[in-house]
Structure 1
Amino acid sequence: MPDSSQPHDGPDPTLATDPAVYKTLLESTRAIPWRIDWATATFSYIGPQIEELLGWEPSSWKTVEDWATRMHPDERAWAVDFCVAQSRAGVDHEADYRALTKDGRYVWIRDVVHVVRDEQGEVEALVGFMFDISERKKTEQKLLELQRELERLSFKDGLTGVGNRRHFESVLEREWHQARESRRPLSVVMIDIDYFKQYNDRYGHVAGDDCLRRVGRLLDTATGRPRDFLGRFGGEEFVLVLPDTDADAALRVAECCRDAIAAEAIPHSASPVAGVLTVSMGVGTRIPDDNEPPLSFIAEVDRSLYLAKQQGRNRIVAGKRAD
């Protein structure tokens, strides 16, 4: 007779046949097991862990309607439609959604679903596990916010706080496309601080940096509309992108900016044109067409800025009207 006190080789065969063992194993995990009868759309089982997570007693999970109504409204329609369609097709699947707790909060859930078929291949039941993924979602949200912040910083000029050259090019491309589609005018103003090298030589680079920041704030205040864009084009040059703005309106914006800087009366004793800081501006307006790239338009506005400087600075030169 075999000695029953000796250890076996391999697993205990009772584990494979005792339902109580399976139940104990399922209910000892943090995952929440469940089973739905497909024909009646009713829960035949849901783990007691559901009460610890959501507050709802297991006995309150009777039909799939209980599952659906305890889902956040923003996810309910697509999650229910998706899960039903996948189940009907016999495809295992998973879905993330927010589940309502008994005290009115929401918890992020990942539902992993396995489709059980009968001998004829028809869907018989759905079995699965619910996992609490709230912490994972919080981490994902933090990473998303960090990514957005990094994106924002990558579009920001570190000195003045206005948009940088990369941001300007992105905005110009977008607004050029929209203006072409809508057949509406798009205006650009290029701004150059007069004799800025002499300013730096006279007052020092620290004062020069502060001057650039002050000019950036003044220009930002002088524009004001939500879609207007202000960026630092490079060095002592700034640029304004003015959507839905015709030539006359663009010229008024430029004059407003020039007046704001003049009113600030920033001392510039090394300037040949005035004892205070001044700017030169080039203004252009275009209703884009399919044959002209935006960079050729910018080159034209830059030529107007060059003319303003060539003609004595402290002035605005507008290009040919195209609106």
Structure 2
Amino acid sequence: MTPHEPPESALYRTLLESTRAIPWKIDWATATFAYIGPQIEDLLGWAPTSWRTVQDWADRMHPDDRDRVVNFCISQSQSGVDHEADYRALTTGGDYVWIRDVVHVVRDLQGNVVSLVGFMFDITERKQNEHQLLQLQQELQELSFRDGLTGVNNRRKFDAVYEREWQEAQRTGEPLSLLMFDVDFFKSYNDQYGHVEGDECLRRVARALQQAAHRPRDCLARYGGEEFVLLLPGADASSARAVAQRCMQEVAHAGIVHAASPLGQQLTVSVGMGTALPGTQDDSKRFLETVDRCLYRAKHAGRNRIEATA
């Protein structure tokens, strides 16, 4: 108890200072701390006497959080609205602790803001748990978008990316190209070598196609069975054909023996190719079907070739 402090005030102070929450009070007119609990030193290392003005509070905030939190708290306080803010607070050791500030705005009878009172809570553990959970969710999402056999994107991922890139092409007027691949005589390959070797063959084809799909926005996916698709945002017909030829070359360089192929002793792929300049009335599904028909033509015209839309 401080000298001349009423017993009731001493009781309230003891209660406040015995909690893990850190109480504080700021005088609105002078923007100075009227009080901050001694628990602040245990948490951050800064002595209560070092918290003089709101500038001390702002300066001890992570630079990436500072403008957002300070501007939000000022605007809410000026409007007389109670609020909460999460941010990282600097310790004397140079580390950061996640804080949740719960703020109550105190007004006089005329409605003028006279002070701010509140509590700081250490939410570091909660934030770490949230971060770990977010990472886990992202990993699970990535797994849900991966083909379990080949490791490339699956049909679900392709469908999502395709619709997004179609809409982006409609917005920007850029071309969008699509390649569809079918492993030639794959049933004969499975019959000749067995399904275990057939699975390994698909993995090798996927790796070969990945060598040609090197741009960040290119999306290679296993479309189903022995079919793959490669989406090429921003690529015109000439560029798409060059990529298709490179894909066929990479598959050839993989040197996958296919003794049962009528085309020779080496595995090959057939390619359907299309390029679109999507307008607002154009249908993404119809374009996909058009490229699929090109692949059908390639297969029925002798395979190991590229067939493109007119």
TM-score band (shorter)?
Answer: over 0.9
SS in 1 for 2:167: helix
Q: Give deviations 1:20-62, integer Å, cap 9, x for gaps.
A: 1111111111111111111211111110010111111100001
Question: Which residue of the partner structure matches residue 38 of structure 2?
Answer: 48
SS in 1 for 2:275: strand
Question: Which residue of the partner structure matches residue 268 of structure 1?
Answer: 258
Question: Which residue of the partner structure matches residue 151 of structure 1?
Answer: 141
Aligned mates of 2:73, 2:213 — CA distance in 1: 51
Q: Which of these two proteins has the greater Rg computed from alpha carbons?
A: 1
Question: Which residue of the partner structure matches residue 160 of structure 1?
Answer: 150
Question: Which residue of the partner structure matches residue 242 of structure 2?
Answer: 252
Match of 2:24 among 13, 17, 34: 34
SS in 1 for 2:287: helix
Paired letter, 1:139: N
Aligned mates of 1:225, 1:310 — CA distance in 2: 31
Question: Which residue of the partner structure matches residue 160 of structure 2?
Answer: 170
**1:72 Cα deviation from its structure 2 partner:** 1.1
Aligned mates of 1:202, 1:41 — CA distance in 2: 82
Question: Which residue of the partner structure matches residue 294 of structure 1?
Answer: 284
Aligned mates of 1:116, 1:225 — CA distance in 2: 57
After alignment, is 221-230 or 106-115 more displaced? 221-230
Question: Which residue of the partner structure matches residue 187 of structure 2?
Answer: 197
Note closer, same or farther for the CA distance 1:232–1:66 as it changes in structure 2 (3 Å cut). same
Paired letter, 2:226: E
Paired letter, 2:295: L
Aligned mates of 2:298, 2:110 — CA distance in 1: 85
Residue 90, structure 1, aligned to residue 86, structure 2: no
**1:119 Cα deviation from its structure 2 partner:** 3.2
**1:205 Cα deviation from its structure 2 partner:** 0.8
Paired letter, 1:179: A
Residue 61, structure 1, aligned to residue 65, structure 2: no
Equivalent positions of 1:88-127 (< 5 A) are: 88-127=78-117
Aligned mates of 2:106, 2:196 — CA distance in 1: 73
**1:264 Cα deviation from its structure 2 partner:** 1.9
Paired letter, 1:264: A
Paired letter, 1:181: R
User: Aligned residues, how many?
Assistant: 305
Paired letter, 1:220: Q
After alignment, is 259-268 or 281-290 more displaced? 259-268
Aligned mates of 1:239, 1:120 — CA distance in 2: 69
Question: Which residue of the partner structure matches residue 3 of structure 2?
Answer: none
Q: Give deviations 1:99-118, integer Å, cap 9, x for gaps.
A: 11112111110001112222
Paired letter, 1:247: A
Paired letter, 2:294: S
Paired letter, 1:176: W
Residue 213, structure 1, aligned to residue 192, structure 2: no
Question: Which residue of the partner structure matches residue 304 of structure 2?
Answer: 314
Question: Which residue of the partner structure matches residue 13 of structure 1?
Answer: none
Aligned mates of 2:253, 2:101 — CA distance in 1: 64
Give the ranges of 4+ consecutive aligned residues of structure 1 lying more than 2 Å apart after TM superposition: 117-122
Aligned residues with identical type, % of pairs: 63
After alignment, is 83-92 or 296-305 more displaced? 83-92
Aligned mates of 2:112, 2:216 — CA distance in 1: 58
Aligned mates of 1:303, 1:118 — CA distance in 2: 76
Question: Which residue of the partner structure matches residue 124 of structure 2?
Answer: 134
SS in 2 for 1:18: helix
Paired letter, 1:59: T
Residue 285, structure 1, aligned to residue 285, structure 2: no
Aligned mates of 1:120, 1:295 — CA distance in 2: 64
Aligned mates of 2:75, 2:212 — CA distance in 1: 56
After alignment, is 188-197 or 242-251 more displaced? 242-251
Aligned mates of 1:76, 1:47 — CA distance in 2: 22
Paired letter, 1:104: G
**1:17 Cα deviation from its structure 2 partner:** 5.7
Q: Give deviations 1:231-259, integer Å, cap 9, x for gaps.
A: 00100000011111111111111111111
Question: Which residue of the partner structure matches residue 5 of structure 1?
Answer: none
User: Which blocks of at least 5 consecutive residues in structure 2 are unaligned?
Assistant: 1-5
